[in-house]
Chain A
Amino acid sequence: DGGITQSPKYLFRKEGQNVTLSCEQNLNHDAMYWYRQDPGQGLRLIYYSQIVNDFQKGDIAEGYSVSREKKESFPLTVTSAQKNPTAFYLCASSIHTGGGEQYFGPGTRLTVT
């Protein structure tokens, strides 16, 4: 079955620690994305990557970092510099053609105390 996997589903960390969220896709999609969703809110774009070894900042990149060493993988690191990291994080991918829809993973809920 093709799809996007995110792990873990729930993640707990202490303040001041960096944490890496996993995102893997086997859809052979070129583009991948990370979004943040806060309770009752819409989606805000953190980072996106259109091709391996390249990525761009989204609207709220401060305090986050990413890498894209493989087409299938786009991990997100939430650093200690992120002021309010507790949120629901969603990974998505799309075929790299203009106008295409995005497919989402199940999300990771990060709680930092």
Chain B
Amino acid sequence: GNSVTQMEGPVTLSEEAFLTINCTYTATGYPSLFWYVQYPGEGLQLLLKATKADDKGSNKGFEATYRKETTSFHLEKGSVQVSDSAVYFCAVYSSASKIIFGSGTRLSIRP
């Protein structure tokens, strides 16, 4: 079945640094890919998504491109803020309306 692997955390950066969180997937066909964000004590929020190869999802300065050649969907942001501190989950659509989530990457931003 489909699966997703994302880089382990925690990741600690200074404010205004460039962010990359790596995510690779295995899947049959070209399923939709997602990035979710979870702030402490809250549920997950959809950050961005891409539904086909070469699509770029973007939201709040974050971007990720659906790369079928490398089966990757890396999350990037050019200049992080303290408010970006959270746990980020990469996810891939599976079957029967199910989504498979990665293990999450905790991001901490220092002022």
Contacts and interface: CB of A to CB of B under 8 A. Distances in A.
A107 B46 contact: no
Interface stretch (A11-19, A40-48, A62-70, A72-80): A40-48
B93 A48 contact: no
B44 A45 contact: no
Interface residues of A, number: 28
Q: Which 3 A-B pairs have the closest CB atoms?
A: A104-B43, A99-B32, A42-B103
Interface of A: 4, 6, 31, 33, 40-43, 45, 48, 50, 56, 90, 92, 94, 96-107, 109
Contacts of A102: 46, 99
Contact of B43 (A41, A90, A94, A101): A90
A31 B97 contact: yes
B97 A48 contact: yes
A56 B96 contact: yes
B32 A107 contact: no
B44 A94 contact: no
B94 to A, nearest CB: 10
A101 B32 contact: yes
A99 B51 CA distance: 8
